[in-house]
Amino acid sequence: MHPTRRASLLSLGGVPLALGACATADAQSPTAQSPGLTPAQHAAWLDRYKQAWETRDPAAAGALFSADASYHEMPFDAPMQCRAAIEAYWARVTAGQANVRFSYEIVASSGDQGVSQWHATFNSVPDGATIDLDGVFVCRFADALTVNALREWWHVRVTPAA
């Protein structure tokens, strides 16, 4: 990643995302007593997210989150609350997707927080339009395998089928 782009991502809107400064682990959090999220653990979680999305598997997606997780897809909408709601969301939205491809780049991993930039491409069903999404995840990890809060921002480009 270009250093200027990384710096701009780490200070979106003047709000510093230097994760060591904004980590909010409390005494109950498993990562509060451990060294914190490593880049390898963060990448492993994102690899499992990739697998869940590319195979359109709501149960695999749900397994990425703690039972009481929140998933905040849109900043002005209420977040989904709990694994069952996240699985229902995934079942609904991925039903209209085919040929999903997902990639990511880790921006930062520190404490119980991880930030990543991601890109997804798929064809919408049934019209065949190509959908390109580019976004950012900010995740708070419950442990090395599960997230208990995900916030995301994304943009979309739609190319109609020929």
Read off the pLDDT of each residue in 122-133 and give the average, rounded to a whole number: 96
Sequence-distant (6+) residues with CB within 8 A of 24 are 112, 113, 140
Please determine, for residue 25, whether its predicted confidence score (pLDDT) is greater than 80.
no
Label residue 10 by pLDDT band (50, 70, 90). Answer: very low
Query: How confident is the model over 42-76, as pLDDT tens digits?
Result: 999 999 999 999 999 999 999 999 999 999 998 89
Distance CA 66, CA 31 (A): 14
Distance CA 123, CA 37 (A): 34
Structural contact between residues 118 and 103, judged by C-beta atoms closer than 8 angstroms: yes
Alpha helix segments (H runs only) across 82-153: 83-94
Angle, alpha carbons 48-54-57 (nearest 5°): 75
Return the pLDDT at 101.
Answer: 98
Please determine, for residue 24, whether its predicted confidence score (pLDDT) is greater than 70.
no
Report the candidate in 109, 108, 111 with the shortest Cα–Cα distance to residue 23.
111
Domain at 37-159, CATH class: alpha beta
User: How many helices (H) and strands (E) in the chain?
Assistant: 5, 6
Instruction: Give the percent of the chain with pLDDT over 70.
Output: 78
Token pair in block for residue 18: 């230097």
Model confidence, pTM: 0.79
